[in-house]
Amino acid sequence: MRGPGPGPDYYHERQRGYGGPRGGPYGGPPGPRGGYGPPGPYGNRGGPFMGPPMGPPQPQLPPTIPVDREKTCPLLLRVFPKLGGHNRLEAYAKRGAEPPGEVAVYTWPDATLRELAELVREVRPDARRNNVRLSFAFVYPDRRGVSVMKQVGEVWSDARRGSTPDDDKSLQQLQFQTGDFLDVAILRQPATEHAVSLPSDQQKAEAAAAAAKVQLPADMVQTAKSFGIRSTALSKYISLQSLAFSGSLVQRFPWVRDRMIADDKFLFKVVIEVLIDSGCATVAEVRKRGDEFWAEFEFYLSDLLVGCVLDVVLVSLMAPRAVLGGKAAALGQSALQRWLAGIPSAALEASVKGVKQYSVGSRFACLGVKFLEYSLAGITCGFIGQGLANSLMLLKRKIHGESENDVAVPPLFKTALVWGLFMGVSSNLRYQAVFGLERAVDMTIAARVPAVAYATTVAIRFVNNVIGGENFIDMARWAGVQ
């Protein structure tokens, strides 16, 4: 229920400012253009349009007077969220014909912008992405009764992205008055700016970690000391500690930590990749071996273990890594190390403005680098896996004797080279495409419905696995190892 609008004395009260000797609302005499002139003890409300308040700047806001929320009746706050920017001021010109999408919120004067951001997230799915900022503005009439808009703060929608100076500002501090509208702009950060944030020095980083009862690893402390540590990376690391399983992983394995900070679905993608590959491999092995499946279980198990390791490697090599410091951690001394530091983890990885930006040339170079990385992983796993399978085959024949139904032992080195070629070409291109499709979904449909990102990841990776299996069979037959 929205409740009644302001009474007949509302605009008059705005003009005289609860008056007596103080003059304008909480401050000096009314200023021009509907501004309220010099600040009194509670600042001023500023001019009729978004921007800084008129009059001298305030060094700091007064402290919030706590409200006993159990004994105090909440006030009605009429909130008007809009994706992409603030509503036009003209949309508030006619009483009763305000912008669509209104949300009625009952809250208290000591509610902060952080609290209000959480309320907006509850009712607007498009505000739940971690690359969204919420800009708050009050809409109220000036002394002539004309609506004006004043921006009062901006915060990250997802608190894990880090805090801003506006998070703890309360409605009371910002001089909200009953009858004001709250206009909220839902702003998506461009993909190239997702990770931009001001770096914190070592002292501030350690203080933030200590406040959260988290110990920073040595490399993060060194990064903070040398370059400053980005507040988004720090806050994401701290938030990961609250999760039992992932918290343990990010503490022990920096390569997991950096990828989870950059992509909160990294572990989900690894698990899905392993489950899909293992499931498909199991079905294929059962169909292939038939009644001999349990008799040849050791071969299936060796293939399965090597495949799981390979899945983790594949997803990890293509996953973006977070930039922890105020500068990219590129800092190898050799020319080769500096060049490699400028290559993205995936050809379609987003640039990070001011930290790491990728050219068209570096994106094409990524294909070549991943060819080498994937080929090396394929040769290594192929050599180990096929070597283990061959050893088991020979051991079994030595124990039980040879028979005319025995298949030829596959050539070890040739099979490993086929795996390397398959990984460097087929897997490289397919996983580049998977990364691009997942990123496109994240930037479009999943921006409104986050659950879609998880569903599409499962679907895309399942199709990719089926295609990859067919590709390997064709390549193995072409090479003569099957």
Q: Work out whether the CA dihedral 100, 104, 109, 110 comes out positive or negative.
A: negative
Torsion of CA 297, 303, 304, 309, to 10 degrees: 150
Tokens standing for residue 339: 């060049």
pLDDT classification of 128: cutoffs 50, 70, 90:
confident
Q: Work out whether the CA dihedral 460, 463, 469, 475 comes out positive or negative.
A: negative
Query: What SS3 state is found at 138?
Result: strand
Highest mean pLDDT among 21-35, 249-263, 422-436: 422-436
Q: Is the pLDDT of residue 382 over 80?
A: yes
Sheet with 103-107, edge to edge strand ranges: 103-107, 75-83, 181-188, 132-141, 147-156
Give CA–CA dist 194/180, Å, rounded: 32
Inter-residue contact 235 to 163 (CB < 8 Å): yes
Give CA–CA dist 439/348, Å, rounded: 8
Instruction: Give 176: exposed, middle or buried? Use CB within 10 Å, 0-12, 13-18, 19+.
Output: buried
Between 69-73, 151-155, 186-190, 331-335, the lowest mean confidence (pLDDT) is in 331-335
Give pLDDT, residue 272: 95
Q: Is the pLDDT of residue 213 over 50?
A: yes
DSSP one-letter string for 61-115: PPPP----TTTSPPEEEEEEEEETSPPPGGGGSSTT-PPSS-EEEEE-TT-BHHH
Tell which wins on pLDDT, 358 or 129: 358
Give pLDDT, residue 232: 74
Q: Which residue has tokens 């496109």? A: 440
Residues 334-353, mean pLDDT to the nearest whole number: 84
Give pLDDT, residue 29: 37
Give CA–CA dist 456/446, Å, rounded: 9
Whole-angstrom CA distances from 467 to 15, 172, 347, 358 are: 71, 59, 21, 30
Give pLDDT, residue 59: 47
Tokens standing for residue 49: 């349009």
Q: Work out whether the CA dihedral 271, 273, 274, 277 comes out positive or negative.
A: positive
Mean pLDDT of the chain: 78
Give pLDDT, residue 116: 93
Give pLDDT, residue 90: 87
Residues 338-348, mean pLDDT to the nearest whole number: 87
pLDDT classification of 349: cutoffs 50, 70, 90:
very high
Identify the DSSP state of 193. G
Highest mean pLDDT among 43-52, 303-312, 330-339: 303-312
At 392-421, the pLDDT tens digits run 778 877 887 777 766 677 788 888 899 899
104 - beta bridge partners? Answer: 78
Give pLDDT, residue 400: 78
pLDDT classification of 45: cutoffs 50, 70, 90:
very low
pLDDT classification of 214: cutoffs 50, 70, 90:
confident
Identify the CA nearest to 78 among candidates 119, 17, 36, 43. Answer: 119
At 66-88, the pLDDT tens digits run 888 888 898 889 999 998 889 98
Give CA–CA dist 99/88, Å, rounded: 9
Locate the DSSP E strands across 203-348: 229-230
Q: Is the pLDDT of residue 23 over 70?
A: no
Q: Is the pLDDT of residue 49 over 80?
A: no
Expressed in percent and rounded to 5, the helix, strand and coil fractions of the chain are 50, 10, 40
Tell which wins on pLDDT, 449 or 80: 80
Q: In whole angstroms, how large is the CA radius of gyration of the chain?
A: 30
Give pLDDT, residue 8: 35
Give pLDDT, residue 328: 52
DSSP one-letter string for 150-167: EEEEEEESSGGG---TTT
pLDDT classification of 326: cutoffs 50, 70, 90:
low
Q: Which percentage of the chain shows pLDDT scores above 70?
A: 81
Backbone angles phi, psi at 200, to 5 degrees: -105, 145
Residues whose CB falls within 8 Å of the CB of residue 426, separated by 6 or more in sequence, listed in order: 468, 471, 472, 475
Identify the DSSP state of 405. T
pLDDT classification of 183: cutoffs 50, 70, 90:
very high
Highest mean pLDDT among 49-53, 297-301, 421-425: 421-425
Cα 272 off chain centre by? 19
